[in-house]
Amino acid sequence: MDRRNFIRTGSLAAAAMIAGSAATTVSAAEEKVWLNMTQKELDDAYTQSRYAPNAAQVNRRYALNSAYTRKILGEPERIPYGRQMVEGLDLFRAGNTQAPVNIFIHGGAWKSGTARDYSFVAETFVRAGIACVIPDFSPVTDADGDLGALAGQMQRLVRFVYASAQSLGCDRERIFVSGHSSGAHLAAVLLTTDWTKYGLPANVLKGGMCCSGMYDLKPVRLSIRRNYLNITDETEEALSPQRHMERINAPLLLVRGSLETPEFIRQTDEFAQGCREQGKKVQTLVLEEYNHFEVLEPLANPYSAMARATLGLMGA
């Protein structure tokens, strides 16, 4: 082979190697890791800011509106429900001494947020004669990524509210739970808990409102959130409400915005469908033109569709 043919053959081989390498890279990048989603698409679907660029502004509104609510209603009573310092609740009492009670669990990807930032949800309930309990709980990053620790805290909270209802000015036969985002996941965990194991009635919770939640942890475990969550096979199974719908003993209201990420839309819609197939009583509400963070704000407006549906769930 002369030198020109050698160079030409070598160049073609090198080009083939480069093309093959590029094809492998493209193939790896386009690999589907969950349903029809690539890793990047799945990561984006569990990164709210990708779909809600005004997240920081809305969170600041939460805090501002919460401060205003505390001026109107007065500072809540701070009551411990467990032994850890973080295990305290904010109680906004209603006017009567045997009021129904709504436990609201805030969101924040299981790792951020405080009860004080979510006072703004309380006024709708209090004005309707319903006490409102907003708990603090451990950031999952302080629990080695174990969501079971947070679920355990919320289960202790329910047991505390049931046992202490009289001193809290609440009716233990009318305990309801609600939550937003990761808080909606924890609320759904409570709604699918076997309470008889704790010596409580199976229907200790009389209803639940879950707003923009996650109900199956498998895709969460595969997503970018694996960087701070430690979800084992056992955790995934135990804390995926989608897999324990038979334990639900109360009517549900499932709310989401139309501008949620694809996964948050799917999670809510499939949980609702699964509940219906199990014969559970479930209502759904889609708030048009609301993103993941904005969708909670109408709960503070007693005339909104969301507030009306939530109060209706509680018989108010």
Residue in the structure block whose two tokens are 């501002």: 64
105 and 91 within one domain: yes
Is the pLDDT confidence value at 216 over 70? yes
Q: What percent of the chain has pLDDT over 90?
A: 89
- Going by the DSSP 8-state scheme, the letter that residue 280 receives in this structure is -
Q: What percent of the chain has pLDDT over 70?
A: 91
| Least confidently predicted of 9-13, 35-39, 228-232 | 9-13
235-288 confidence digits (pLDDT tens): 999 999 999 999 999 999 999 999 999 999 999 999 999 999 999 999 999 999
48 Cβ partners below 8 Å, 6+ apart?
55, 109, 261, 292, 293
What's the average model confidence in pLDDT over 221-231? 98
15 and 106 within one domain: no
103 and 202 within one domain: yes
14 and 65 within one domain: no
Confidence of residue 2 (pLDDT cuts 50, 70, 90): low
The tokens describing 57, both together, are 């502004």
Beta bridge partners of 88: 80
pLDDT for 316 equals 83
pLDDT for 120 equals 98
Q: Please report which helix (H) or strand (E) contains residue 166, including its range.
A: helix 165-168
48 and 110 within one domain: yes
Work out the mean pLDDT of the chain and round it to a whole number. Answer: 93
112 and 22 within one domain: no
Name the domain count of the chain.
Answer: 2
Residue 192, helix vs strand vs coil:
coil
238 and 297 within one domain: yes
301 and 192 within one domain: yes
Is the pLDDT confidence value at 25 over 90? no
Residue in the structure block whose two tokens are 């009635």: 201
Count of alpha carbons within 13 angstroms of residue 3, beta-carbon side: 0
Is the pLDDT confidence value at 15 over 60? no
Q: Strands, DSSP E only, in 191-302?
A: 205-211, 252-257, 282-287
141 and 248 within one domain: yes
What is the torsion angle, in degrees rounded to the nearest 10, for the CA atoms of residue 207, residue 99, residue 138 and residue 248? -20
What span, in angstroms and rounded, lies between the C-alpha atoms of 295 and 290? 5
74 and 24 within one domain: no
pLDDT for 20 equals 52
53 and 134 within one domain: yes
What span, in angstroms and rounded, lies between the C-alpha atoms of 78 and 76? 6
60 and 185 within one domain: yes
Is the pLDDT confidence value at 23 over 50? no
Confidence of residue 17 (pLDDT cuts 50, 70, 90): low
Is the pLDDT confidence value at 69 over 90? yes
Report whether 33 contacts 42 (CB < 8 A).
yes
71-111 confidence digits (pLDDT tens): 999 999 999 999 999 999 999 999 888 999 999 999 999 99
What is the torsion angle, in degrees rounded to the nearest 10, for the CA atoms of residue 198, residue 201, residue 207 and residue 211? 10
What's the average model confidence in pLDDT over 300-304? 98
Is the pLDDT confidence value at 6 over 60? no
Closest CA relative to residue 126, chosen from 91, 160, 158: 91
**CATH code, 211:** 3.40.50.1820
Range of the domain at 8: 1-30
Residue in the structure block whose two tokens are 């135990």: 238
141-195 confidence digits (pLDDT tens): 999 999 999 999 999 999 999 999 999 999 999 999 999 999 999 999 999 999 9
